[in-house]
Chains A and B, each alone.
Chain A
Amino acid sequence: MKYKTKSRHIFILMSLLLITSLVAACGGPATPAPQAEPAKMEEPAQTEESTQTEEPARVEESAQTEEATTEETTETASATDSTPDSGSVELPEVDPLAVTGDIISAGSSTVFPLSERMAERFQDEGYGGNITIDSIGSGAGFERFCVAGESDISNASRPIKDSEVESCQSIGREPVEFRVGTDALAIAVSQENDFVESVTLEELAMIFSTAETWADVNPDWPAEPIQRFIPGTDSGTFDYFVEEVFDKDEEPILSAGNLQLSEDDNVLVRGIQGSPYAIGFFGYAYYNENQDTLTVLSIEGVAPTGESAEDGSYPLARPLFIYSTAGIIAEKPQVGAFINFYLTYVNEEVIDVGYFPASEDTLSVAEASLLAALK
């Protein structure tokens, strides 16, 4: 993409802004938006007709050219191509161009980057509707999904709890789980931190609870107060960490001093960047995105990598999910189409986002449950 940096552009822009805002001042702000709307709405309508007749032919064409000419196609692409062959399930192919209607999703901030990427790709490939993704934490996501019943898809970095299933059922929703990837929960420190490289789970528990200074945990470390940055109490990441490190007891970690909590992992990253004595944890993607300023710690000597997350040797590897219901999928075909698209292509994007792919088996389980829901 080319950007022109001439100052003239800014001038034009400023004057345009001036005009638009003057229009706005005269009470006409409603005019531009409705004009934009019909144009948006017409597009999908045409799509539905045209794609039915012409598109499949073209797809085959391009698929053929692809096969004929690819010798060095990327590995990920061929991997997903083979997925349907190896598994027992085969999802119907989605044509995002033919999909209309809005999709509302909310939930985990850990899953957010992945869902955001899939949504962007879905839109990039022609989906004309609107996907909203709110990054509010797994718990709040289920709240909207199961209690208020206002979201179509719930992102979660932990499995749904029984109590949540119950409240879902009480509003007539039967949640269906789709595994979309694996996260290695990253324990991160600033790159200015030169004394910690690896911690044990016990040290981790001390760092995030009783220890005042780093020296309290390990005498070799400096006697500086520990600054803790952790995800908010409603996030799946927090729940998961407490479960794994503190055996489900929230008391010690929340009683620790110098504690910062935020549902927005970006706030945590910025906080950890700021001091050599800061430490925090979040989904691996946020580390991945900030590799130049953060260092990720090994736990019990195991560094978080694709392999260690996959085979479970990294102690804090955990699954990532999205949830929906058969009812919603039946009622809103666009939701089914998006989940289908999500499961089909997630392995092409997941590494770039910063997580690790779920194994073929778990993915085909998800695909099977989608197929069941689609019927």
Chain B
Amino acid sequence: MTVSASTRTIAKTAAAAKSDLHKRLRLGESFIEAFLFFCGAVSILTTLGIVFVLGKESLLFFTSGEVTLWEFISGTEWQPAIGRFGIWALLNSTLMVTAIAMLVALPLGLAVAIYLSEYASLRARSILKPVLEVLAGVPTVVYGYFALTFMTPFLRSIFGDEIVQIYNTAAAGIVIGILVLPLVSSMSEDALHAVPYALREAAYGLGATKLETAIKVVLPAATYGVAAAFIVAISRAIGETMIVAIAAGAGPSFTFNPFESAETMTGHIVRISGGDLSYDSIDYNSIFAIGLMLFVMTLTLNIISRHVVKHFREEYE
């Protein structure tokens, strides 16, 4: 610090001595700065673009006269061809898939995180972390293939063909759980790892076992970080598309049975836009209304998780 401070003073005095150098207008420099600012501003443009596109088409959707906002947020039937636009048919399956995914990913992910952070030897960590990274790097379409050709037959062999339909939310949900597991475990592990070592030593010093230290001391201290991981995972599961498009089914249906097929919001967007994309039709506008809903949901979750993380950072970093 002292060194850098002194350098700066030297630089200042040098500049003062030759003030003509300082005054020269550097066009190139300002141009570069302007260009770099533009690069940064592209992200703002992207957000504005998303909001504008989703907002405009959704507005067309709601002002078309075919659907009221109330019907949209209260209906349980989604069948654009006959004017039924109840988002719950799609939202319900999105939430169901997400819930199943979280049932898989949260306990497993947290357990893996605790194991990696508190128990695993250095060598085990150095092997396991890259393996989990590989799991996170596999494209989602591959997981979709996995869900349809492995998970569904697997579930059917357990529960019977009669009960488990060929497209079902359970298989899609479980596989999404596997997909977000590395995300949960690595974010949680980072949070656990960030807890100061002194806390652990204090616990050990009081006679706590390793488990007690991990569960009663480290985990509570890392609550915010782990919670942030959970929220991000939920947001990711809600927005996941290819797995549900391949394995969850293609008909909007309001059902709570995980072994029946049901279409999620993302799955519906893919099906509609992959097939009948009639511009300026009510179908076309409707997917933007779904998209807006999806955007708002994931954005809210992400903002919450960011705040939670900030809270966590303020506590320990």
Whether the complex brings A and B within 8 Å at their CB atoms is answered: yes
Asked if B278 lies at the interface with its beta carbon under 8 angstroms from chain A, I say yes
The residue in chain B whose Cβ has the minimal distance to the Cβ of A274 is: B166
The residue in chain B whose Cβ has the minimal distance to the Cβ of A228 is: B251
Asked if A305 lies at the interface with its beta carbon under 8 angstroms from chain B, I say no
Contact among A140, A267, A270 with B277 in the assembled complex (CB-CB below 8 Å): A140
Q: What's the least CB distance linking A207 to chain B, in Å?
A: 16
Q: Is the CB of A139 within 8 A of B276?
A: yes
Query: Which secondary structure dominates where chain B touches chain A?
Result: loop
Contact among B82, B249, B271 with A263 in the assembled complex (CB-CB below 8 Å): B271
CA distance A126 to B161 in the complex (A): 48
The residue in chain A whose Cβ has the minimal distance to the Cβ of B261 is: A260
Within 8 A of B (CB), among A236-278: 250-251, 254-255, 257-264, 267, 270-271, 273-275
CA distance A137 to B84 in the complex (A): 21
Asked if B220 lies at the interface with its beta carbon under 8 angstroms from chain A, I say no
The residue in chain B whose Cβ has the minimal distance to the Cβ of A140 is: B276
Q: Is the CB of B167 within 8 A of A271?
A: yes
CA distance A250 to B279 in the complex (A): 21
The residue in chain A whose Cβ has the minimal distance to the Cβ of B249 is: A260
Total count of chain B residues near the partner, CB < 8 A: 25
Known contacts: A143-B277, A250-B82. The answer to whether A259 contacts B166 by CB under 8 A is: no
CA distance A250 to B84 in the complex (A): 12
Q: Is the CB of B275 within 8 A of A263?
A: yes
By a CB distance below 8 angstroms, the chain A residues around B250 are: 260-262, 267
CA distance A257 to B257 in the complex (A): 13
Total count of chain A residues near the partner, CB < 8 A: 31
Contact among A148, A224, A234, A254 with B276 in the assembled complex (CB-CB below 8 Å): A234
Q: What's the least CB distance linking B287 to chain A, in Å?
A: 13
Asked if B185 lies at the interface with its beta carbon under 8 angstroms from chain A, I say no
Asked if B260 lies at the interface with its beta carbon under 8 angstroms from chain A, I say yes
CA distance A263 to B161 in the complex (A): 25
Asked if A147 lies at the interface with its beta carbon under 8 angstroms from chain B, I say yes
Known contacts: A255-B82, A267-B250, A275-B161. The answer to whether A262 contacts B271 by CB under 8 A is: yes
Contact among B82, B161, B278 with A274 in the assembled complex (CB-CB below 8 Å): B161
Q: Is the CB of A233 within 8 A of B165?
A: no
Contact among A254, A258, A273 with B166 in the assembled complex (CB-CB below 8 Å): A273
Asked if B253 lies at the interface with its beta carbon under 8 angstroms from chain A, I say yes
Q: Is the CB of A233 within 8 A of B80?
A: yes
Known: A254-B79, A261-B250. 20 other contacts (CB 8 A): A136-B276, A137-B275, A139-B276, A227-B165, A233-B80, A233-B81, A235-B275, A235-B276, A251-B82, A255-B77, A257-B253, A258-B251, A260-B249, A260-B251, A263-B274, A264-B275, A270-B166, A271-B166, A274-B167, A275-B165
9 contacts between A and B (CB under 8 A): A143-B276, A148-B279, A233-B276, A234-B276, A235-B275, A257-B253, A258-B253, A262-B271, A271-B167
Top-9 shortest CB links A-B:
A274-B166, A263-B275, A234-B276, A233-B81, A260-B251, A140-B276, A262-B250, A143-B278, A254-B79
